Structure 1
Amino acid sequence: MRTFEKSDKLHGVCYDVRGPVLDEAKEMERRGETVLHLNIGNPAPFGFRAPQIVLDSMEAALADPMSQGYSDSKGLLEAREEILQYHMEKGLPGLSLDHIYIGNGVSEMISLSLQALLNNGDEILIPAPDYPLWTAAAKLAGGNPVHYICDESSGWYPDIEDMEKKITDKTKGIVVINPNNPTGALYPKEILEKIVNLAREHELMIFADEIYDRLVLDGKTHTSIASLAPDLFVVTFNGLSKSHRIAGFRSGWMVLSGDLSKAKGYIEGVNMLSSMRLCANVPAQHVIA
């Protein structure tokens, strides 16, 4: 009898926040135990509600006939204009509307960005502990995730020496999650500059996951690593899921900045993949705008 198995591409792919750990949590609940679900950073079950202005924007968008059709594959122009303005204020260099991509959450953008880059056997440096989608998406794209240490005794900051030791001729890029998920660490400018210098020395891309950049407390400020790297090619990820408490709306984006001349082929790949999925959720794009 012929059977159908999962693709070989999925061997070694594990998305822990909605995998075996969640299955075990559900089994515990069936046994009558109380489980607090903090696995995916979902604010809604804990009573956090979106601002009314966000809900009003979505309601108005649903009544607009143009929101019922596809948008440009990169996203609504007016939404990308707002994203451009936000990241200009954060100091990102060399920005243009053509290099901003809106997706169904940052998760989609992470997967798309790695699919466009990695060949089988390519390596990418990812923090440990990490947001597990980065590891899973790298594996699915055919790459090898290589984890660098972020140690609790050092305030959960990246171990730059460990990072450098793990760079090989197969390394394509470095993932920097700042503010960090899951540790909550906010990296100071001095740490970010060391990472930039490392990427510069070894000619690496930087993937900057900054979805929590507006949830910074105690009077501290967030520095976008791309603002420190005008001569490098940086992909920055952000969105509204956390800051505006609309995780279910799936509203995220990625921004390409710096020296884009180094990444013409990569950008072509990103454009291809962006076009293949047609566009992101259009009503949610109006919330950005």
Structure 2
Amino acid sequence: MDINKRVEGMTYAIREIVVNAREVEKEGHEVLKLNIGDPNKYDFDTPDFLKHALADAALGGNNYYGDSEGIPAVCEAIANREKKYKNIDIAPEQYLPTSGASEGMNMVFASLVGSGDNVVMPGPSYPLYISLTTFYGGNPVEYRTIEEEGWQPDIDDIRSKVNENTKAIVVINPNNPTGALYPEKLLKEITDIAAENDVPIICDEIYDLIAFDRKFVSTASLSDDVNFIVIGGLSKVYFAPGWRIGYMGFKGPDDEINKLKEACYKMARGRLSTNTPAQLALKTAMESDHSYLNDYLPKLKERAKFSFKRLNEIEGISVTEAHGAMYMFPKIELESYKGRDKQFVLDLLKEKQVLTVHGSGFGEQYGGDHFRIVFLPPMETLENAFDKLEDFCKSKK
């Protein structure tokens, strides 16, 4: 059977490295996992009120196909939430619930990207953006984010890389994989570039309320002259990644954004509907007061602070501080692993049973010579993992 080369070329480092970890576990070793941004794999849990909302929706008979474009009351709740917390003015009918944020990304890229097109995205970047661009025949173009400045985007580099073939600019804020949080002034400059070039911005804001010390600002709140696709969902802020429920919002100054929305609607109709009970739980999430974050965020912040301090104590490793999301992106400064970050990750797994993700999996140009960790695990796990990392680095000097 011949497999389409588009599929053969798809990679997703975050999941692929798990195959290697399973082999280590088969040998009888316990693996300390710092690899995946799934809070429920650690000591976080979906808030009880959301579990009850999902169960009540199913037990209440809401097990039918919903509207392909989303249940209207759910879309209204999303619009109210985005306005309240992010000052984004998007009408309810401009939102589309999706089967996880990833489905929304796929719809957008399928609608926008073709052969010879490019998508300008941060370097390092979330791997799915790279894979989807390539899958639909386009070229992923990474703009520089400056490690020495906390992985902030290089505005001049963005400007130099947007051209007549650019179909979108991607902004991931708070950022995966670096944990960076972008200031309003910088985001406004990105919207200015988009306006000058008549290019839409894909705003990946799945981590929007997970911010430490600094205020989160939505890119889509800063201009009425740019077309925006805003992406959110239950996976991160609401600690329910396995439910696979997300949403997209379409905002723009004219009818151009509605062409994209209608294209996504066509694909939505092809998959009939998003999970109906999960949509109703999404409505409950959108209408909640988010008080559960009063417990979750301090715990995350403590682990982020500890990880930043401890990693920088390890000779051969350096890292910038995370101000949001769940990740850090340490630099490998060991000469023996220069240009070999994947081998570093594989050797660390084999020799010390600590699982991370190689930085080149987030883009070769800016991700190389780094690796990604999550600071979701309990303090004891982080301490143990970093001690093992330190021993490993000492052995490789």
| TM-score, normalised via structure 2 length | 0.68
Q: 1:253 pairs with 234, 247, 265, which one?
A: 247
1:54 aligns with 2:54: no
Instruction: Tell me the amino acid that sits aligned with residue 271 of structure 1.
Output: Y
Q: 2:162 pairs with 155, 163, 167, which one?
A: 167
User: Is 2:229–2:248's contact at 8 Å kept on the other side of the alignment?
Assistant: yes
Paired with 1:161 and 1:202, the residues of 2 have a C-alpha distance of: 14
User: Is 1:226–1:258's contact at 8 Å kept on the other side of the alignment?
Assistant: no
1:13 aligns with 2:10: yes
Q: CA 1:45/1:267 → structure 2, altered by over 3 Å: closer, same or farther?
A: closer
Paired with 2:10 and 2:87, the residues of 1 have a C-alpha distance of: 35
Q: 1:267 pairs with 249, 252, 261, which one?
A: 261
Matching residue of 2:236: 242
User: Is 1:116–1:273's contact at 8 Å kept on the other side of the alignment?
Assistant: no
Matching residue of 1:92: 88
Q: 1:191 pairs with 180, 186, 189, which one?
A: 186
SS at structure 1 position matched to 2:163 = coil
Q: CA 1:251/1:260 → structure 2, altered by over 3 Å: closer, same or farther?
A: farther
Measured after TM superposition, the shift of residue 275 of structure 1 is 1.0
Matching residue of 2:40: 44
Q: CA 1:264/1:257 → structure 2, altered by over 3 Å: closer, same or farther?
A: closer
Matching residue of 2:172: 177
- Structure 2 counterparts to residues 271-286 of structure 1, below 5 A: 271-286=265-280
User: Is 1:91–1:227's contact at 8 Å kept on the other side of the alignment?
Assistant: yes
Q: State the identity as a percent.
A: 35
Aligned residues: 282
Gapped runs of 5+ residues in structure 1?
none
1:119 aligns with 2:114: yes
Paired with 2:148 and 2:155, the residues of 1 have a C-alpha distance of: 14
Matching residue of 1:207: 202
Q: CA 1:190/1:69 → structure 2, altered by over 3 Å: closer, same or farther?
A: same
Instruction: Tell me the amino acid that sits aligned with residue 8 of structure 1.
Output: K
SS at structure 1 position matched to 2:179 = coil
| TM-score, normalised via structure 1 length | 0.93
Cα deviations across residues 58-109 of structure 1 (Å, max 9, x unaligned)? 11011122x211101121112111100011222223x222210101110111
Measured after TM superposition, the shift of residue 244 of structure 1 is 1.5
Of 7-16 and 74-83, more deviation after overlay is shown by: 7-16
Matching residue of 1:222: 216
Of 129-138 and 184-193, more deviation after overlay is shown by: 129-138
Instruction: Tell me the amino acid that sits aligned with residue 245 of structure 1.
Output: F
Whichever structure has more helix as a proportion of its residues is 2
Paired with 2:46 and 2:258, the residues of 1 have a C-alpha distance of: 38
1:69 aligns with 2:64: yes
Paired with 1:179 and 1:286, the residues of 2 have a C-alpha distance of: 26
Cα deviations across residues 196-254 of structure 1 (Å, max 9, x unaligned)? 11111111110000010111112x22111011121111000011111111110112101
Matching residue of 1:78: 73
Which structure has the greater CA radius of gyration? 2
User: Is 2:95–2:250's contact at 8 Å kept on the other side of the alignment?
Assistant: yes
Paired with 1:199 and 1:53, the residues of 2 have a C-alpha distance of: 40
User: Is 2:205–2:231's contact at 8 Å kept on the other side of the alignment?
Assistant: yes
Matching residue of 2:104: 109
SS at structure 2 position matched to 1:68 = coil
Paired with 1:55 and 1:260, the residues of 2 have a C-alpha distance of: 39
Q: 2:138 pairs with 131, 136, 143, which one?
A: 143
Gapped runs of 5+ residues in structure 2?
284-397
Paired with 1:88 and 1:265, the residues of 2 have a C-alpha distance of: 23
Q: CA 1:53/1:157 → structure 2, altered by over 3 Å: closer, same or farther?
A: same
Measured after TM superposition, the shift of residue 11 of structure 1 is 4.2
Instruction: Tell me the amino acid that sits aligned with residue 74 of structure 1.
Output: E
User: Is 2:250–2:258's contact at 8 Å kept on the other side of the alignment?
Assistant: no
SS at structure 2 position matched to 1:126 = strand
User: Is 1:212–1:243's contact at 8 Å kept on the other side of the alignment?
Assistant: yes
